[in-house]
Amino acid sequence: MSSQLGKVVSLILIDRFGPVVERVGTSLYQFGSSPLLHIKKRTDLPISKIKESLTILIKYQLATFAVNQNENIANYSIDTDKVLLMLRYPKYINIIKKKFGDSSEMIVEECLQRSYITASEVILKVHERLTKNEESIPLSQLKNEFISLVNAKYLIRLPVNEAVDKPVPKLVEQEIHTLPPVDVILLQKFKAGEAVLLPDKDIYWHVNFDRFHQDMRDKIIISAFTKKFDENAGELVKILLQQMYIRTDPWADVTNPIPILEIKDLARKQKNLGQLNAFFDQYVNVIEQDHSNLIRKSGEASGGSFQIYLKDAYKQFAWELIEQCVMEKFDSKAARIFRLVKLKQYIEPNMIQKLVMIPAKEAKRLTYQLYEENFLHIQELRKQAVGGGGPSKLYTLFHIKLELVARMILELCYKTLFNIMTRRNHDKSTNKRIIDKKQRVDTITLGMRSQGAEEEQLAEIEEMITPPEKEIIARIEKNMKKLNSIELEIDDTIFLLQMYLMYN
């Protein structure tokens, strides 16, 4: 909860839902959980608008409500994590596309856009979209795809209101993974325009972000091992992680032991892993003996079983990430000092100067610069002189509080997000005239082309945009692209840090 995060949240809300919702959201963020009338007092908006905004926020699960002490009133609060997740939607869609294909992607896309939706509705909608694209996939196949998404827990059921008689509804989760009763024949009839009652009328589904985060977490681990060792080691870890889910709670710190023979069998079944199968035992050895110690042998039974230390893995990643920050922000020498302090845990300034092989003065400067920027912390030890009369001796020890530094970097990420968005909005608004013009020209050309206009006419209209304008447009497009892609990458960093903080 920081002012920086609040600014990002308000920018996201303004971007997606407009200024009114943003005002309500920001007020909820600033003052915390509050009832309707308080929001009205603070925002000075008409009550109908506030109600509308709250409905939108609750619909997209960005706000939650709970019963006030007075049971007739609800307290509303905003869920900032969910708001931030809106930036991650493209990633979720991409994950599904890679794993299940295009039509599943559309299902998830619809779910994300509508926030919650019934199975029948989404199947019909996707079918409609596919027919528009001149692809025909039978409804039954779409139904199967939807079911497999539910089975894989990417979609879960929305909690339902149980206490009907109370003024403030209470949502209860029930059987979130039960399959929807979708009847393809009824769907076809419904599509044909017949008045049929769909069996899953009140069963709504929404996206299970948690499941996506597991995928993202695994992907980071796999790519890390691929980078550190090679592809084969990455594949090995991938199979290990797959097998993890059978035995372990997905968010456990350490997985339960996984017998290596099982992994071996699975690896053998995959054809493209010749190299891995040939040297399977060696790969296991190399990974196990690496001093990062993320995969450890837990027992000798059935050819040895192994555990993945997920918590440690993310701790390691967080260290590396912060080391990167130090390295880029200061220089490689500062990173060297930082790592030395990390290795020694507590260290005196004299030792630092001796071990890092940097001129004493320079080492001192860098150390205190790191301290100034809160990357290093100081622990002072006072030793009373014998006899009490003499001056007491003071030892200064440097150390690192990783969690503090991680939170600081996270804060910096929020700030960066805010800067990116502000910059993008600013660039858009300063060049609004040219962007609008370009859009107008584009629509005109599109319209004329569909009417079958001559090439010459089209070229004439194209020329309405002067060369310098074209240059500006090209530059803006380039900038937007760059800002958008860095926004996604910053989100990756945020995800990594959040994972670390969660495990911690």
Partner 1 sequence: MSEDSSSSELSEIEIKLLDLAKSNPDGISNDDIKKQIPDVPLTEITAIINKFLRNGTFDLFKTKDNLLYKYKDPSNKSTVKGADSEEKVVYKIIEEAGNKGIWIRDIRFSSNLNMTQLNKVLKSLETKKLVKVVKSVSASKKKVYMLYDLEPDSSVTGGAWYQDQDFESEFVDVLNQQCHRYLVEKLEEAMKKPGGPLLARNRSYATANDVHKFISELGISKVSLTVDDIESILYTVVLDDKAERIKAANGSNLYKATNRFLPSSGIVKITCGICPIANRCANTGSINPKACSYLSEWLNQ
Which range, of 70-78, 153-161, 219-227, 440-448, touches partner 1 by CB under 8 A? 219-227
Q: Contact between 404 and partner 1 (CB under 8 A)?
A: no
Q: Contact between 328 and partner 1 (CB under 8 A)?
A: yes
Which of 402, 453, 483, 501 lies at the binding interface for partner 1 (CB under 8 A)?
A: 483
The number of CA neighbours under 13 Å toward the Cβ of 231 is 5
- DSSP letter assigned to residue 452: T
Of 154 and 225, nearer to partner 1 (C-beta) is 225
Which of 232, 255, 307, 367 lies at the binding interface for partner 1 (CB under 8 A)?
A: 232
Q: Contact between 324 and partner 1 (CB under 8 A)?
A: yes
Nearest distance in Å: CB 299, partner 1 = 21
Q: What is the token pair recorded at 406? A: 């991680």
Q: How far is CA 176 from CA 128, 151, 200, 206, in A?
A: 27, 11, 14, 10
Which of 426, 428, 440, 449 lies at the binding interface for partner 1 (CB under 8 A)?
A: 426
Q: Contact between 432 and partner 1 (CB under 8 A)?
A: no
Q: Contact between 219 and partner 1 (CB under 8 A)?
A: no
Which of 29, 92, 309, 317 lies at the binding interface for partner 1 (CB under 8 A)?
A: 317
In which element (H, E) is residue 67 found? strand 63-67
User: CB count, 10 Å around CB of 193?
Assistant: 7
Tokens 């509080």, residue located = 401
Which of 271, 291, 382, 433 lies at the binding interface for partner 1 (CB under 8 A)?
A: 291
- DSSP letter assigned to residue 394: E
Which of 253, 303, 489, 502 lies at the binding interface for partner 1 (CB under 8 A)?
A: 489
Helix or strand or coil: residue 465?
coil
First to last CA, the chain: 18
Which range, of 151-159, 161-169, 266-274, 316-324, touches partner 1 by CB under 8 A? 316-324
Of 201 and 426, nearer to partner 1 (C-beta) is 426
Backbone Cα Rg of the chain: 29
Helix or strand or coil: residue 34?
strand
Q: Contact between 335 and partner 1 (CB under 8 A)?
A: yes
Beta bridge partners of 75: 35, 66
Which of 286, 444, 458, 501 lies at the binding interface for partner 1 (CB under 8 A)?
A: 286
Which of 233, 258, 267, 347 lies at the binding interface for partner 1 (CB under 8 A)?
A: 233
Which of 77, 316, 445, 498 lies at the binding interface for partner 1 (CB under 8 A)?
A: 316
Q: Contact between 375 and partner 1 (CB under 8 A)?
A: no
Nearest distance in Å: CB 392, partner 1 = 20
Q: How far is CA 110 from CA 18, 193, 283, 345, in A?
A: 21, 22, 43, 50
Of 200 and 312, nearer to partner 1 (C-beta) is 312
Nearest distance in Å: CB 211, partner 1 = 23
Q: Please check whether residue 318 is in contact with residue 497, taking contact to mean a CB–CB distance below 8 angstroms.
A: yes
Helix or strand or coil: residue 378?
strand
Q: Contact between 85 and partner 1 (CB under 8 A)?
A: no
Q: Contact between 486 and partner 1 (CB under 8 A)?
A: yes
Which residues lie below 8 Å from residue 342, measured CB to CB, with a gap of 6+?
319, 323, 400
Nearest distance in Å: CB 461, partner 1 = 30
Q: Please check whether residue 414 is in contact with residue 441, taking contact to mean a CB–CB distance below 8 angstroms.
A: no
Nearest distance in Å: CB 354, partner 1 = 9
- DSSP letter assigned to residue 391: P
Nearest distance in Å: CB 34, partner 1 = 25
Which range, of 154-162, 163-171, 174-182, 276-284, touches partner 1 by CB under 8 A? 276-284
Which of 113, 161, 270, 282 lies at the binding interface for partner 1 (CB under 8 A)?
A: 282
Q: Contact between 64 and partner 1 (CB under 8 A)?
A: no
SS3 labels along 154-222: CEEECCEECCCCCCCCCEECCCCCCCCCCCHHHHHHHHCCCCCCCCCCCCEEEECHHHHHHHHHHHHHH
Q: Contact between 496 and partner 1 (CB under 8 A)?
A: yes
Of 133 and 332, nearer to partner 1 (C-beta) is 332
Rounded (5°) CA angle 120-209-411: 145
Q: How far is CA 3 from the centre of its chain?
A: 20
Which of 197, 343, 386, 394 lies at the binding interface for partner 1 (CB under 8 A)?
A: 343
Q: Contact between 207 and partner 1 (CB under 8 A)?
A: no
Q: Contact between 393 and partner 1 (CB under 8 A)?
A: no
Q: How far is CA 240 from CA 271, 294, 307, in A?
A: 17, 12, 9
Of 329 and 437, nearer to partner 1 (C-beta) is 329
Of 166 and 423, nearer to partner 1 (C-beta) is 423
Which residues lie below 8 Å from residue 433, measured CB to CB, with a gap of 6+?
none
Q: Contact between 288 and partner 1 (CB under 8 A)?
A: no
Which of 47, 172, 488, 502 lies at the binding interface for partner 1 (CB under 8 A)?
A: 488
Q: Give the separation between CA 154 and CA 114, rounded to whole angstroms.
A: 16
| Angle separating helix axes 310-329 and 467-503, nearest 10 degrees | 140
Residues between 113 and 152 that touch partner 1 (CB under 8 A) = none
Q: Give the separation between CA 298 and CA 296, rounded to whole angstroms.
A: 6
Binding residues for partner 1, rule: CB under 8 A, are 7, 223-225, 227-230, 232-233, 278-279, 282-283, 285-286, 291-292, 316-317, 320-321, 323-325, 327-329, 332, 335-336, 339-340, 343, 355-360, 362, 409, 412-413, 415-416, 418-420, 422-423, 426, 478-479, 482-483, 486, 488-493, 496
